[in-house]
Amino acid sequence: MKAFSTLYRTLDGSKRTNQKIAALVAYFRDCPPADAAWAIHFLSGRRIKLGVRRADIKAWAAQEADIPQWLFDESYNAVGDLAETINLIVPAGKETLGHGLTWWIEERLMPLVGATPDQQRCLLVESWKQLDPSGRFLWNKLLTGAFRVGVSRGLITRAVSEALSAPMARVEERLMGPWVPGPGLLAQLGDAASAADPASPRPFFLASPLQDKITDLGPCNEWQAEWKWDGIRCQAVRRGRRAYLWSRGEELVTEQFPEIARQVERLCHDCIIDGEIVARRDGSILPFHELQKRLGRSVVPKRILREIPVALIAYDLLEQDGTDFRDLPLSQRRGHLEELVRPVAGDQIMISPIVEGDWSELEFQRSQAAQNFAEGLMLKRKTSPYRSGRVRGDWWKWKVDPYVIDAVLVQSRRGSGRRAGVFTDHTFAVWKNGVLVPVASAYSGLTDAEMKELNAIIKNSGLEQFGPVRTVKPEHVFELAFEGVSRSARHRSGVALRFPRISRWRRDKVAAEADHFPALEAMITKTPIIKREITGELFPDWPGCGTDPTNQ
């Protein structure tokens, strides 16, 4: 655990990429292969489900520290991180065990799975006593599933490829796939002979927000414009008549969208399609929160399947029958995509419509995006290859200007993690029949100086209270920006704001001058209509299956 602690300290403390990579390379080279595999597992954001209740962890920690539960909870509020709170509160043991990372995971974390609460408690308490402080902090982080450190996937890829002297591209592709930690992982990532799992997705190409003027992009005919959908980015992989749907977080979501998977299976070729999953009913795209009902379930109930139909809007083709298309220009990929998808296009798979027009027409179209339940337009350079990661220059997201309202700050909550102890989560209200109704929570948007000032105000206003939440005297007005408003039964106000954030502090306004509820209601997006440019028909048994349409 010591080597892993040292690695963590360097990664956590350094802002320099080279220093981080050097530390990673040294760790991968020197540690046992099983430790390296677990490190890659956790550093790349994967977790293990241990089935230990958080409430239990808190209770056992309080008992070990011999303090009342409320005092543990207060401490947790101040620290904002359970792993660290335990570390600071639970007395350390007299002797520490010097085992490596793999031992602490396989002997002390994995056995928690399926254990009784009593057994779990024994494992936890014993481990807390046997770990040195820095090791205990990390072990707690793994235990609570909150292990995070500032390394990107790209950095891990670079370090692994350097440590193994293997090409970056190979390591990157294999890291995308469904691998499991184990002593053989490193070799598997670098070995030229072992093929990457064919069902794995490719690194996603990510667009950047457009900040320049649209005319700075050059001639309009060099660009392809599409709607920017408000859905879930997805790579649909078809391998040997089986479909695998991957989210951007590289999780398999095939089970959540079975009807899309079935259509992907009906495609005529093995392939990898990039696109967006949206909720879509009667030709209209539904708000994102409807789509969310599909997620986070292992089995989607029939009722949800029926009520929230979904579609894959396909916009790129990365591979077909084992041929990598990523280096082809977008215009060619698009041609292949249309040929591939058209036979099965319909309610479950559609091709992302191209929005035509010159810059001024596109500017107008963008302003109409909300009517289509899109967030704006995507601009893609027609000659661009399919790159990997967030590379600026070829793909831009050109979102609609946000909606704004003036709202009153009514409540603040302390943040967690690096924002622990600071009031960062603010609740805002607007007037409705003479009272302030909370309509949104916003976390970001203030400058550091404003945040400081606001914190001082919140700390000094009102009496000392327990818990992380403070009621604030309603006298500060802020302009909130957001992407849209929809009706919502889950919110007490009856509306949900999408991506609300603080755009400025209206010091010129008093609470009475804040906006009224009807102003917000007026912004509720009408049920949107999508132009069904390519609807296609359903061909359950497309006769061309198995043959190459390019040869027809």
Site for another protein, rule CB under 8 A: 13, 65, 67-68, 70-71, 74-75, 78-81, 84-85, 88-89, 416-422, 452, 455-456, 464-466
Residues linked to residue 318 through DSSP beta bridges, in sequence order: none
User: For 236, what's the count of Cα atoms within 13 Å in the CB-facing half-sphere?
Assistant: 37
Q: DSSP for 502-552? A: EEEE-TT--GGGS-BHHHHHTTBPPPP----S------TT-TTTTS-GGG-
Residue among 89 and 268 whose Cβ is closer to another protein: 89
In total, the chain counts a number of residues equal to 552
Residue among 299 and 449 whose Cβ is closer to another protein: 449
* Least separation in angstroms between CB 456 and another protein: 7
* Least separation in angstroms between CB 129 and another protein: 17
Residue among 76 and 395 whose Cβ is closer to another protein: 76
Residue among 74 and 265 whose Cβ is closer to another protein: 74
**Residue owning tokens 């390591």:** 171
Residue among 81 and 483 whose Cβ is closer to another protein: 81
Nearest partner of 245 among 233, 232, 234, 230, judged by Cα: 234
* Least separation in angstroms between CB 521 and another protein: 38
* Least separation in angstroms between CB 124 and another protein: 18
Task: Provide the token pair at 299.
Answer: 């089995």
Residue among 85 and 235 whose Cβ is closer to another protein: 85
* Least separation in angstroms between CB 130 and another protein: 20
**Ramachandran region, residue 136 (left: φ > 0; alpha: ψ -120 to 50; beta: rest):** alpha
User: For 177, what's the count of Cα atoms within 13 Å in the CB-facing half-sphere?
Assistant: 17
Residue among 141 and 336 whose Cβ is closer to another protein: 141
* Least separation in angstroms between CB 155 and another protein: 19
| CA torsion through residues 377, 381, 385, 387, sign | negative
* Least separation in angstroms between CB 276 and another protein: 35
CB 96 within 8 A of CB 128: no
| Cα–Cα distances in angstroms (integers) from residue 41 to residues 35, 108, 181, 245, 539, in the given order | 10, 17, 6, 21, 42
